Amino acid sequence: MPNYLIGIGAAGALLGLVLDRVQFGYSWLIAFMFFLSLTLGALFLVLVHHLFDAGWSVPIRRFCEHIASLLFPWMALAFVPIALLAPRLYGWMQVQDPHADHALHAKLPLFTKPGFYLVALACFAIWWWLSHSLRRLSLAQDRDGAAHHTYAMRRVACLGIFLFAITLTLAAVLWMKGLMYEWFSTMYGVYYFAGSVWVTLGTVYLITMVLKRNGTLEPVLHEHQFYFLGSLLFAFTVFYAYIHFSQYFIIWNANMPEETFWYVVREKGTWWYVGMVIIFGHFFLPFLALLRIDLKLTFAWMIPLCIWTWLMHYVDLAFNIHPYRHTGGYPFQWAWLDLACIALIAGILTKQFLNKFGVTRRIPSRTRASARPWATCTFMLPRFQEVRLTRPTNWPTGRKWREVCDEVVDMLSGDGSGAGCRLVPGDCRHLPARGRPHLVGRPAHPAARRGHCPRRSPLPEPRGTPRRRPCGPDHRGYHRRQQGYLPDSHHQRRRVAPAALAGPRRRPG
């Protein structure tokens, strides 16, 4: 499929370049900004994952890293035609004396030829550093499972979120808003950001569904991943509408000619109807379609909606770029050139994405919640069918962790619950939890439930874990006998356990 897209798109793009070089430049700019939205949106999702230490987004993080890594060199190479045709595309580059034009003079030195190319170079350099640093550290953690990679990715994300906001705003202002350089809008960067994340969420939902259907991510996906993606898509539907309406309302209310002319041009001819399509198709339709909770989990409903996000994002970009040259209305005669440029870049990026996805692990294999909610060391006990010990992210790996596992076995053997237990070979380096190590047990048969509380762990849970409801009439007696708790008061308990399991001391409260 990517090869067909590349062949058809290359043929159409070359034909358009021969027929009208300037129109090819604008069509290529639409295609470039469309896929820049996807790659920057994927980078934003990866940054947010590390900033909030999210667990639900781990299964989708790896292919988001692959999409973000396409920013360099592939999106940088896609910018080359724009850089070469820039003197013909941007009217401010044709102004002889920038100081005689007040609108252009107010934007110096950003709106200069050196500033244009230097900003482009800086943006791609920063995007390359962010995307490849996060992907490199993620792949390195697959190899050794060291926790310092997680901390390094968090540090990169803390700095990267600010660099991301600055560079995305500069790119949107220079490459799209700069077509009509006389126009002023302080919300344009946020406007492009909202549309970028919106279309990226629809794409990520579709890719996740495909990977679940073909079995690639089926073992690690749960319905809450699709629910959260659908909820975020709903949230950014509202956020985009809020930003777009706020920009229009502020400019309309101020009624300043140097601002209103941008919308006046887009209310002439067929651009009025394109604006109506954006209002109803970009906001009302997805807003109403995503209101119900169950529909976010219905693939037959969500697949057309995700494809609809691509169409609406293209219409939105055409609404921003084409009126500079075609003031009378949408250029239907050049729609084929827009689609050809989109097909060419889509084929190239899809082929590179599949190459990256095929040579690495499908999911981050040694990170928090990477496999299942409790993927860990397993102990086979006579009393329990199985007991699994989970290692938190802040606990060491290797021999130190093995000593902890052995001490847990000795403790369970000592109180009779794990007499004769043995350690089943398994990977102890998964990181699905934080705080102290804890056990999850399941009785071997119904008769073994006497004196056992399967909802509670034989070891104390991390501080701050919500208290759970009792499982039976002897709930308190079970925890006093089996877990090593000695009740101090109604609200506080003291634990008697080996020192190795005490974990790092924390300040009360």
Indicate if the alpha-carbon torsion angle 411, 417, 421, 427 is positive or negative. Answer: negative
Q: How confident is the model at residue 367 (pLDDT cuts 50, 70, 90)?
A: low
Contact 169, 189 (CB under 8 A): yes
C-alpha of 229 from chain center: 9
State which amino acid sits at residue 72: F
Query: What's the mean pLDDT in 176-182?
Result: 93
Query: What's the mean pLDDT in 461-477?
Result: 43
Sheet holding 384-390, edge to edge: 422-424, 377-380, 384-390, 438-443
Helix, coil or strand: residue 485: strand
Residue 100 sits at φ, ψ, to 5 deg, of -80, -15
Contact 367, 58 (CB under 8 A): yes
* Choice among 1-10, 274-283, 299-308, 397-406 with the minimum mean pLDDT: 397-406
The reported pLDDT for the residue numbered 48 is: 96
Closest CA to 459 of 400, 387, 375: 387
Residue ranges per structural domain of the chain: 2-359, 378-462+470-501
The reported pLDDT for the residue numbered 269 is: 92
Query: Tens digits of per-residue pLDDT, 60-72?
Result: 999 999 999 999 9
Query: What's the mean pLDDT in 42-47?
Result: 97
Higher pLDDT, 223 or 444: 223
Q: What percent of the chain has pLDDT over 70?
A: 72
* Choice among 75-84, 362-371, 389-398, 460-469 with the minimum mean pLDDT: 460-469
Residue 99 sits at φ, ψ, to 5 deg, of -70, -20
Query: What's the mean pLDDT in 104-132?
Result: 94
Non-local CB neighbours of 5 within 8 Å, separated by 6+ positions: 343, 344, 346, 347, 350
Contact 174, 11 (CB under 8 A): no
Q: Determine if the peptide bond prior to 109 is cis (ω within 30°).
A: yes
Cα–Cα dist 16/30, whole Å: 14
Q: How confident is the model at residue 143 (pLDDT cuts 50, 70, 90)?
A: confident
**Neighbour count for residue 139 (Cβ, 10 Å):** 15
User: Does residue 49 register a pLDDT over 80?
Assistant: yes
User: Does residue 287 register a pLDDT over 70?
Assistant: yes
Q: What's the whole-number average pLDDT of the chain?
A: 80
Q: What percent of the chain has pLDDT over 90?
A: 60
The reported pLDDT for the residue numbered 382 is: 39
Q: How confident is the model at residue 241 (pLDDT cuts 50, 70, 90)?
A: very high
Contact 323, 265 (CB under 8 A): yes
Beta bridge partners, 384, equal 443
How many residues comprise the chain?
A: 509
Indicate if the alpha-carbon torsion angle 405, 54, 308, 333 is positive or negative. Answer: negative
The reported pLDDT for the residue numbered 376 is: 36
Query: What's the mean pLDDT in 227-247?
Result: 96
The reported pLDDT for the residue numbered 221 is: 86
Strand ranges, E, within 314-432:
377-380, 384-390, 422-424
3-state secondary structure 414-475: HCCCCCCCEEECCCCCCCCECCCCEEEEEECCHHHHCCCCCCCCCCCCCCCCCCCCCCCCCH
Contact 436, 425 (CB under 8 A): no
**Neighbour count for residue 186 (Cβ, 10 Å):** 10
The reported pLDDT for the residue numbered 97 is: 87
In Å, how far are 31, 88, 329, 334, 377 from 28, measured between CA atoms?
A: 5, 13, 19, 12, 53
Beta bridge partners, 390, equal 438
The reported pLDDT for the residue numbered 421 is: 41
User: Does residue 81 register a pLDDT over 90?
Assistant: yes
Query: What's the mean pLDDT in 283-303?
Result: 95
Q: How confident is the model at residue 253 (pLDDT cuts 50, 70, 90)?
A: very high
Query: Tens digits of per-residue pLDDT, 316-331?
Result: 999 999 999 999 999 9
The reported pLDDT for the residue numbered 342 is: 97
Residue 459 sits at φ, ψ, to 5 deg, of -115, 155
Query: What's the mean pLDDT in 165-182?
Result: 95
Q: In the structure encoding, which two tokens stand for residue 188, read together?
A: 């344009």
DSSP β-ladder status, 438-443 and 485-487: unpaired
Query: Tens digits of per-residue pLDDT, 411-468?
Result: 544 444 443 444 443 333 333 333 344 444 433 333 333 333 333 334 444 444 444 4
Burial class (CB in 10 A: 0-12, 13-18, 19+), 299: middle
Query: What's the mean pLDDT in 264-271?
Result: 94
Cα–Cα dist 247/250, whole Å: 5
Q: How confident is the model at residue 102 (pLDDT cuts 50, 70, 90)?
A: confident
The reported pLDDT for the residue numbered 4 is: 94
Cα–Cα dist 369/193, whole Å: 29
Contact 33, 177 (CB under 8 A): no
Residue 357 sits at φ, ψ, to 5 deg, of -70, -25
Cα–Cα dist 234/315, whole Å: 19
